Amino acid sequence: MRVSTLILSAGLLLGLATTAQAQMFTDPGAYNNFIVSEQRAMLKKNLRYISKSAHSDNEKKIDAKRQDLIKQTELSLNKIAKLPAFQDDKGFKEQTTEALYQLLKVYSEDYKAVDMLAATRTATVENMEQYFKLQEIAEAKMQIINDSVDAAQARFAKRHKMTISEDPEGKRLAQYMRQVSEVNSYQHRVYLAQFRIEKASARLTDALSAQDAAAFEAARLQLVQDAQTATTELTAIKPFRGKDAQYRDAARNLVKFYAAFAANQAPQMKTLLDRKDAFTKADADKFNGFIGYYNAQNQKLAQAYNQAGNNFQAAYIPVFKD
pLDDT in tens, 175-187: 777 787 788 889 8
| Helix intervals (H) in 106-124 | 111-118
Q: What is the mean pLDDT of residues 3-19?
A: 36
3-state secondary structure 206-274: HHHHHCCHHHHHHHHHHHHHHHHHHHHHHHCCCCECCCECHHHHHHHHHHHHHHHHHHCHHHHHHHHHH
User: What rounded mean pLDDT belongs to the chain?
Assistant: 81
Residue 22 in this model has a pLDDT that exceeds 50: no
Range of weakest confidence among 70-74, 108-112, 115-119, 159-163: 115-119
Report pLDDT for 310: 84
Quick check: pTM over 0.75?
Answer: no
Report pLDDT for 1: 39
Tens digit of pLDDT for each residue in 219-270? 999 999 999 999 999 999 999 999 999 999 999 999 999 999 999 999 999 9
3 state SS of 126: helix
